[in-house]
Structure 1
Amino acid sequence: MASTAFQIIAFVLTFLGLMLLHAATVSNYWKYSTSAKNIITSSWISEGLWRSCVATSFGSVQCKTFSSLLSLETYLQVCRALMIISLISGMCGILLSLLGMKCTQLGSTSENTKIKISITGGVIFILGGLSSMIAVSWYAAQVTTQFFDSLYGGIKYELGTALFVGWAGSLLSILGGIFLTCSGCKEKHRSQKYDYAVAQRTNKSRIYIKKSEKVVPVQDYV
């Protein structure tokens, strides 16, 4: 019962992490900049992985998708790839964790097979969380480097809300994956211990039966 509850908690954490990572991936607020000379004429510029947006204090918002993939900076292309990998890993991990739960039954799947599936799902979640963590941290490092560089002549941005959402989603995915992997390893150890105990009792029973056998001598009658 405790193991099932542990698996459910791990599944909830990883599911929430996947939702946060999805929200961060499609968000346009990975970085932002504001030019606020006064409240009336203030404007905001924000960028994400896929497009940039300009908003004014009058409520108008205009967004433009990045037209060319090859013209983008290297770190932006890598961050895109890592976030997509984390989302795909999260979806695969969700499927495997559902199949590996003790409270689910699919055909005649053995207990050892479900344990292996659960451990595999946990490892996939950890790898996906690490991928998104690298992407978000690298992007944040680029923003802060440009912001504090006195020789940088472009627009200086600040950290957007999507970065913090991405960090939270990465931590939840890694934490849920660790919980799921530890739960599977614990069940595997318990299963091996139970099999060893059963084997020991079987061997003792066989020895007892052999000892209890009586040999009846054959007597010759003349």
Structure 2
Amino acid sequence: MDPIIEVVALCLGFLGWIMVGVAIPNRYWKVSSLDGTVITTATLYENLWMSCATDSTGVHNCREFPSLLALSGYIQASRALMIAAVVCGTFGVLATLIGMQCSKAAGDNEILKGRIAGTGGAFFLLQGFCTMISISWYAANITQVFFDPLYPGQKYEIGEGLYIGWASGVLSICGGACLMCSCKLGTKEKTSYYQPTRETIYSASASRRDGQSTYGRNAYV
């Protein structure tokens, strides 16, 4: 496997892992503005964990969601997928570091290193898929409510936290694909050595004896 591809894939996966950690606590997953007078203008924003409001004076107030079971199903699923993405990214970074050619953790066994690096690529792919599914599911619910003319409640728009999550998913998938497609998971080509059999050795010895005896008889003619 090309060491440059290993480094590029590791950088992409690691950057995607960091961005997942940035997207999870980001408060602006969905944003809504309540326009009115200067005093009543406010901005509402939510993420997976809390709902916040900011007025025109810059004072903000946040309220955490009281119960997990009382939340919508897509929020619960998004939480689980984002946590799974962080866990998969952690295993992906560790496996890729161990499986790199410049690493001494796995010794000089290139086959083992290739398989460990491929496992790291699989974890990066899982991280990217979990992130993309979570972010896209959350965004789909935002757009569905926004374009529903019969929805009586407050409508929101896509916030910056979702864009960070999408970028994280793309980077993780690219890094995992590079590792999975480039690492050598096959076995090494074995060097074939000639193993003479007992019959071959006996025939060669007999030929040498016959040659020596013939040379001895002809030498004195």
Instruction: Kindly report which structure 2 residues correspond to 1:123-202, keeping only aligned pairs within 5 A, or say none.
Output: 123-184=122-183, 187-189=184-186, 192=188, 195-196=189-190, 198-199=191-192, 202=193
Q: In the aligned structure 1, how far is the partner of 2:85 from the partner of 2:173?
A: 11
Q: Residue 107 and residue 31 in structure 1: after superposition, are their counterparts in 2 closer, same or farther (change >3 A)?
A: closer
> Could you list the runs of 5+ residues in structure 2 that have no partner in the other structure?
214-221
Q: In the aligned structure 2, how far is the partner of 1:161 from the partner of 1:126?
A: 23
How many residues get paired?
207
Q: In the aligned structure 2, how far is the partner of 1:30 from the partner of 1:59?
A: 19
What corresponds to 2:82 in structure 1? 83
Deviations 1:142-187 (A, max 9, x none): 0000000011111100001111110000000000001111221xx3
What corresponds to 1:14 in structure 2? 13
Q: In the aligned structure 1, how far is the partner of 2:57 from the partner of 2:75?
A: 31
1:7 CA drift (Å) = 0.3
Q: In the aligned structure 1, how far is the partner of 2:178 from the partner of 2:106?
A: 26
Q: In the aligned structure 2, how far is the partner of 1:109 from the partner of 1:65?
A: 51
Deviations 1:28-81 (A, max 9, x none): 111010012255542100000001110112111111111101100000000000
Q: Bigger CA drift: 121-130 or 40-49?
A: 40-49
Instruction: Give the CA RMSD over aligned residues.
Output: 2.2
The TM-score with structure 2 as length reference comes to 0.86
- 3-state DSSP of counterpart to 1:34: strand
Aligned residue identity for 2:180: T
Aligned residue identity for 2:99: G
What corresponds to 2:67 in structure 1? 68
- Please identify the structure whose Cα radius of gyration is greater: 2
> Could you list the runs of 5+ residues in structure 1 that have no partner in the other structure?
none
Counterpart contact for 2:106–2:113, Cα < 8 Å: no
Which contiguous aligned blocks of 4+ residues in structure 1 show a shift greater than 6 angstroms? none
The TM-score with structure 1 as length reference comes to 0.86
What corresponds to 2:45 in structure 1? 46
Q: Bigger CA drift: 18-27 or 135-144?
A: 18-27
Counterpart contact for 2:19–2:165, Cα < 8 Å: yes
Q: Bigger CA drift: 135-144 or 107-116?
A: 107-116
What corresponds to 1:100 in structure 2? 99
- 3-state DSSP of counterpart to 1:53: strand
Q: In the aligned structure 1, how far is the partner of 2:58 from the partner of 2:100?
A: 48
Q: Bigger CA drift: 30-39 or 130-139?
A: 30-39
Q: In the aligned structure 1, how far is the partner of 2:204 from the partner of 2:40?
A: 101
Q: In the aligned structure 2, how far is the partner of 1:107 from the partner of 1:24?
A: 33
Counterpart contact for 2:77–2:134, Cα < 8 Å: yes
